[in-house]
Structure 1
Amino acid sequence: MRNHTMITEFILLGISDNSEHQVAIFTFLFITCVLSVTGHLTIIILTLTNCCLKNPTYYCLWNFSFLEITFTSVSIPRFLGVIITRVKTISYNNCLAELFFFISMGVSEFFLLTAMSYDRYVAICKPLHYTTIMNKKICALLIFSSWLGGFLTVFPPLMLILWLDFCASNVIDHFYCDYFPILQFSRSDIWLLEIGFHFAFVTLLFTLALVILSYMCIISTVLRIPSASQRKKAFSTCSAHMIVISISYGSCIFMYVKPSAKERASLTKGAAILSTSIAPILNSFIYTLRNQQVKQAFKNLVRKVVLSRNK
């Protein structure tokens, strides 16, 4: 790999060089990271230990929470360490590893959100056949396909990056490794790589189209329900998922709306912070505060902990 590149490390400029700004950034990112990990760990514990949360919906939910924890942990802890140590360099191999896990986990999330949309479609549009359609085998297959889809989407283009020739510049004006600035340093022909990353963006739009199709069917079915209270209940079961989809897809599309490596990357550091720190914490609170079963399971867990301590 080193025979094909002139650089062995990259310099990540971060968000700001101002010491006061860095203190505020560190405090903000540390708090959001801790809250995000805590919230999603709580969801995982509840769905794995509570007997009432053993259906496919919550099996997908704890996998989504695990993905969110991994996605947040890829870049934020390392960046917090950079602020403390003031060492802004990252090795070539570590940069590519961060790039792989960051994009792979993100793509897997979108596949999983699509699977969760299908789960909601079956639950509302075909309630009598839900247990037959969304059995354990199908659910496990959807989860596995989501993880595999994220891997296969990113791994081939990443292997091509290993064979690129880079120029002397290695300064990345960002706080994590992303493929836009890395490919800008290349002096090789990168048209094949651009096609690969274009495919990742097309995958994003394809999963979004499937999600929209699922919810069009859901809304059509709900509007035909004669009872207003039943319509409200049906919409409430999907509202949390719809909010999470809006946050996840919105931030990603904003960051990657111009996927050409030869022009200046359109993503901003603010949008990156939204997708890596703010969105995960919002997702954890949305799924807990807007889900009655999860809230009840959390109350039961707290009650058990308090009772065990009193004894």
Structure 2
Amino acid sequence: LFSFFLIILVTMEWVNETSVREFFFLGFSSLAELQQLLFVVFLLLYLFMLGTNAIIISTIVLDRALHTPMYFFFGVLSCSETCYTFIIIPKMLVDLLAQKKTISFLDCMFVFLVFSVTNSLHLGVMGYDCYAALCQPLYYPILMSWRVCGPLAVTCIVSGFLISLLGTALVFSLPFCGSNKVKHYFCDISPVIYLAYAAAYINEPVIFIGGILGLVPLIFICISYEFIVSTILKISSAEGKQKAFSPCASHLIVVIVHYGCASFVYLRLSAKYTSGKDGLVTVTYTIITPLLNPMVYSLRNKDVQLAIQKMIGKTGFSVKTL
């Protein structure tokens, strides 16, 4: 409670001292002639992503065979990623056609960080689920019971909220008295913090430390996979190894894409912010990764494919009956 009030006091301090009241997104201004084409492409990708996530979530909810911890956490991850993209992409689409591309100082960054941190924590929990299923199969019903899964999901969300609140307060405790032009299409940490009226030796370590803290779930995932690989190597047949590792392969692909892009942006110290390269990378983890996750993690899964076919079959039957 004391920490919460301390954060509020810090937040009130920077709100009172800073002269910046809103940020202006430069977005894809270097590609002015392609703005309308980018709008169409990103809109189609976004609609497709919403459709696939909606199918996955509804399938997991409606099919009892998918009421397992693995699919429960992936359903939660899909919901979180849908909210994550809802914060970024609609604003980006509007800005592609708008003249004034602004966002208020108070609305910037916080909500984006909440879902970004929450997604990372959920990937860590899913790594633990893979570990428990393969390395502790006898204790799996206890380790991943519904009494455990529910509190774990809530803990990820609450932790994401608190970490993001603290991170946002720390970033905006820096003085913003100069330019308010963000070389990006949303309030990511790197482009915003470089607008702060502070020395590079303050700005860059803040970004780097934030990146290191964001890697905590990845370290947890790596430890889990060390035990998973050790267990799989003990299986004699190649077919058995493939079958054992199959549920983990999709999760591993998602982790590599998610943390690979994030590491490029946050885990480097550079005297100059490279907006062009970072913009392309953030397009990957704000649009491509949420689009890739349901396809890699679920649509290639036989259980999910069977459940979707059942749903389509029931819909077709009901239409014929009517």
Equivalent residue for 2:313?
Answer: 303
TM-score scaled by length of structure 1: 0.91
Which of 228, 239, 254 is residue 218 of structure 1 equivalent to? 228
Q: Distance in 2 between matches of 1:236 and 1:160?
A: 41
Equivalent residue for 1:284?
Answer: 294
Among all aligned residue pairs of Structure 1 and Structure 2, give the percentage whose two residues are the same amino acid.
30
Residues 194 and 273 in structure 2, CA contact (< 8 A), matched pair in contact too: no
> CA, structure 1 residues 139+197, in 2 after alignment: closer, same or farther (shift >3 Å)?
farther
> CA, structure 1 residues 161+19, in 2 after alignment: closer, same or farther (shift >3 Å)?
closer
**Matched residue SS, 2:280:** helix
Equivalent residue for 1:183?
Answer: 193
Q: Distance in 1 between matches of 2:318 and 2:33?
A: 45
Is 1:143 the counterpart of 2:153? The answer is yes
Deviation readout 1:139-189 (Å, 9 max, x if unpaired): 112212211222222211322445443223111111111222322232358
Which of 269, 275, 288 is residue 285 of structure 2 equivalent to? 275
RMSD (Å), alpha carbons: 2.2
> CA, structure 1 residues 206+3, in 2 after alignment: closer, same or farther (shift >3 Å)?
closer
Q: Which runs of 5 or more structure 2 residues have no equivalent in the other structure?
A: 1-11
Q: CA deviation at 1:200?
A: 3.2
Question: 1:1-311 alignment to 2 at 5 Å?
Answer: 2-94=15-107, 96=108, 99-187=109-197, 197-258=207-268, 263-266=271-274, 268-311=278-321
Q: How many residues align?
A: 306
Q: CA deviation at 1:192?
A: 8.0
Residues 190 and 266 in structure 2, CA contact (< 8 A), matched pair in contact too: no
Q: Distance in 1 between matches of 2:171 and 2:240?
A: 53
Residues 212 and 267 in structure 2, CA contact (< 8 A), matched pair in contact too: no
Q: Which runs of 5 or more structure 1 residues have no equivalent in the other structure?
A: none
Q: CA deviation at 1:18?
A: 4.2
Q: CA deviation at 1:191?
A: 7.8
TM-score scaled by length of structure 2: 0.88
Q: CA deviation at 1:36?
A: 1.3
**Amino acid in structure 2 at the alignment position of 1:229:** E
Q: Distance in 1 between matches of 2:47 and 2:308?
A: 19
Residues 4 and 164 in structure 1, CA contact (< 8 A), matched pair in contact too: no
Residues 65 and 284 in structure 1, CA contact (< 8 A), matched pair in contact too: yes
Q: Distance in 2 between matches of 1:10 and 1:62?
A: 34
Residues 56 and 75 in structure 2, CA contact (< 8 A), matched pair in contact too: yes
**Matched residue SS, 1:176:** coil
Q: CA deviation at 1:209?
A: 1.6
Q: Distance in 1 between matches of 2:125 and 2:200?
A: 33
